[in-house]
Each structure stands twice: as C-alpha cells, then as structure tokens.
C-alpha cells in the first residue's frame, strides 16, 4: 500500500500548474515620445564621456508592429532605428541598427562602419516610465552598453 500512496502523490504533483507569466502589455502602451537620459553601463567609459546624455525615443505601432528610433545614438543625430520589436510581459525587446535601415532589396553601396553594429534594447514599462538597457555589439563581439531612464513626454495643456 505505501507504494500506491507514493505513486498517487507523484501523479498529484504532476497535475499542478506551472507558475504563470504576466500577460503581455498591449503594444500601444509603449507608443509615443519618451524623453530622458542615456548613461554608460560599462566599467570604464571613454575619457571625456558625459555622465548622462539627453535622448528621445519615439515609438509607433502600425498594424501591430512596433517601429521607432532613439536619437541621438553613438554621438550621431541619425540615431538607432528599431528593426524588430516584441512585447514580453511588461518589457519591450527590440533590435536596432545605427542610422537608417536599408530598404529591403536595396543594392549595397560602399560598406561603412555602421553596418557591423547591432543594438539589443530592453525597456521595462511601469506606466509613464521606461527603464532599460542597450547592449551594443560589433559583429559578434560585445562592445558597449548603455542604460536608460525615460519618461513619457506630455503635451502642453
């Protein structure tokens, strides 16, 4: 009889539900203009680097797809353009390119340094604030990291 109780206890434990993940926020919660600061998130930032740089993140949702740009980025006003973004719980996870992405099927011209740079953004939404991080890699090599503290820009009343 003790073996039967052990089997029942094991089977009862298998029927328990796994912890549920929080539901995804609607993409529209991320849309808008976000303003704030970008700061270095590496041990030894370059000499003369500003502690906090003002930035603007503009996000749009079109046909359920999130697009946008963060300006300035890496010192350039072209910024970083989001090319793929998804919402996971209360986080926006996006990949971006420096500058403007090439249109699909466009011919390649002369290569420039920006083509090898990949940016992975993660932003956590807590209502009117986005806090996040960017991991920048050059080819396959991790290169730089930044952290962000952004707030939803409010229109004047």
Q: What is the CATH number of the domain that holds 134?
A: 2.40.128.20
Query: How high is the pLDDT of residue 150?
Result: 97
pTM: 0.79
Do the beta carbons of residue 91 and residue 69 sit within 8 Å?
Answer: no
Where is 144: in which H helix or E strand?
strand 141-152
Structural domain boundaries, residue 132? 21-41+52-101+114-152
Query: How high is the pLDDT of residue 51?
Result: 78
Number of domains in the chain: 1
Task: Give dist(CA 70, CA 79) in Å, integer.
Answer: 5
Does any domain span residue 157? no
Does any domain span residue 1? no
Query: How high is the pLDDT of residue 110?
Result: 56
Segment of 27-41, 47-61, 96-110 carrying the highest mean pLDDT: 27-41
Does any domain span residue 4? no
The alpha carbon of residue 109 and the mean position of all alpha carbons in its chain are separated, in whole angstroms, by 29
Q: Tell me what the pLDDT averaged over the chain comes to.
A: 83
Does any domain span residue 80? yes
Does any domain span residue 129? yes
């Amino acid at each position: 009889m003790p073996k039967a109780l052990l089997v029942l206890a094991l089977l009862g434990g298998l029927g328990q539900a796994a912890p549920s993940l929080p539901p995804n926020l609607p993409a529209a919660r991320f849309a808008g203009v976000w303003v704030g600061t970008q700061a270095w998130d590496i041990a030894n930032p370059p000499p003369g680097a500003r502690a906090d740089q003002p930035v603007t993140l503009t996000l749009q949702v079109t046909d359920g797809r999130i697009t946008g740009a963060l300006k300035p980025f890496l010192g350039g006003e072209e910024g970083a353009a989001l090319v793929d973004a998804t919402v996971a719980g209360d986080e926006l996870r996006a990949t971006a390119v420096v500058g403007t992405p090439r249109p699909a099927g466009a011919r390649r011209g002369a290569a420039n340094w920006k083509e090898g740079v990949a940016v992975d953004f993660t932003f956590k939404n807590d209502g009117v604030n986005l806090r996040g991080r960017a991991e920048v890699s050059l080819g396959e090599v991790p290169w730089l990291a930044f952290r962000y503290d952004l707030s939803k820009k409010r229109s004047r009343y």
